[in-house]
Each structure stands twice: as C-alpha cells, then as structure tokens.
Structure 1
Amino acid sequence: MADQLGSFQAVISGIIAVLDAFAVIALLAAGFGIVNTLLMSVQERTREIGLMKAMGMRGSRVFALFSTEAVYIGFLGSAIGSALGILVGVGVSDVLGRTVLKDLTGLQLVAFDPVSVAVVILLVMAIAFLAGTLPAVRAARQNPIDALRYE
C-alpha cells in the first residue's frame, strides 16, 4: 500500500511541476494582456487625460490612476481565478476520492493553504503593477494641449 501511495505521489509531483510551468507561462501572458489593455485604455482616453491635466491634475496622479487600474485588474483576475481553481480542485478531489482512489486511505489530492493563495494574489497584483507601469508613464507624460487635440 505504501509503494502504491509513493508512486501516486511521484506522479502527482510530476504533474504539479508541469502545471507550475504552465502557471509561469500564464502569468507572462497575463502581464502582456494587462499591458495591451492599459495601452488601449490610454489611447482611448487621451482626451480625458488631456482634460484632467489641463484642469490641474499632475502627472503623478495620472500615473497613480492607471497604476491603480492595473492593480485592480490583477486583483480581480487572481481572486476570481483562485476561487474557481479552489472550487474545481475540491470538487475533482472529492469525486476521485469517492470513486477511483477510494482504496487509498489518507491520500489528499488537493490541499489549499490560505497563505499560499494570498501570496499568489499579491504576486499577481505586483506583476499587474509592473505591467501597468509603461502605460501609466505614457499617460502621465502626455502634453495636455496635444491630448485635447487628439481625435
């Protein structure tokens, strides 16, 4: 029984390593997605940015506005993704524990540590902030007169 449990754990460890690699790729893709989304947002809101700057808003406040938007996007994406992942993981674990792997007592397929989930959410928020820096700097440096003339 111990040998079977050990072999299952070895297979699961291999699967976890592959899934971790996919997670890194997904984080990179999410970073590029956030950059693209915010660059389009800056382009579409050029006149709005120009108006805010013409009314006296400093570049640092515009930077903070777009950086906050990036962090918010990262938070929503990671929180919703974590919640769905936990729900699906617990559901699959329960189904496998009652059917295919019912003979292996003590096997826990999925375990979620709240601290790890919080760390992942904070990491994604940090990546979102870094990804939103370029669009936020671009928005903060816009000349108000040129931005108001933009069509």
Structure 2
Amino acid sequence: MTVRVHGTCAPGFEGVRAEFERSFAERDELGASVAATLGGEVVVDLWGGDADRSGTRPWERDTLVNVYSTTKGMAALCAHLLADRGELDLDAPVARYWPRFAQAGKGDIPVRWLLSHRAGLIAPGEPMAPGAAYDWEKV
C-alpha cells in the first residue's frame, strides 16, 4: 500500500522526505509526522498515514500524539549545555532555579537527581480516571 505524504521540505532537505516515505514503504509505519526548523524557519513539515489501526482516521497536520518520555533526552542535552556554560549547577538545589519546587520537603533535591531519576518523585501506582490528576487531595 502506498501512503501519500503531505507537507513540505525546503531545498536541501529532500532526503528527510525520502526517509519519511521509506518509513511507510519499508518499515510498516502506520502514521507519523515530522517537523524541523533551522534558524527559526520551518524546513521540514511532513505527515502521512493513518491515526488509527483501522485506517478510518487519516493522520493530519495537527494530529495530537502522546510523546511520553521522548523529551527527556532533549531536556538532558539542554541542561548539560547550560552546565557547560556555567549557567546551571547540577549540584545546586532545583529550588534555586524553581523556588516553588521546594514545597513538600523537596528543597534539598539537586538538579542532577532530576536528570538521573534519583529524586524520589513518584508516578501513580494505579490507573487514574480522566481528570483525576487535577484532584490535589487524591494525587
């Protein structure tokens, strides 16, 4: 099955489009999108495929996707660049940069613990009903 890829690629980024198209043709991608900017300009904005396994909803330019933990790598990279520039102290308390974080006994947690999952911050131990995360007492 041929999947129609929508969107644009600036000159010089045709290889991105080719690889994106290959992800459908050779890697059984169901639906996806990719966008990239360079110097503040959008150079890649592509989408294609389906947003559901039954093929009843096409992937649109603005299809929402849960990215789970994919931003952790980017956050770590940014934190380490700031540390390298002397703008972030990995051993300083998080509260130095985010004062409200110090609430509920978290005042001494260092930045590096957030980057290494050692801060002791937990995730829910059981499934939560929609909207339950907004219930302060429950959470």
Q: TM-score, normalised by structure 2?
A: 0.26
More strand by proportion, 1 or 2?
2
More helix by proportion, 1 or 2?
1
Look at both structures and tell me which one has the larger radius of gyration over its CA atoms: 1
Q: Which has the higher contact order (CA 8 A, sep 6+)?
A: 1
Q: TM-score, normalised by structure 1?
A: 0.24
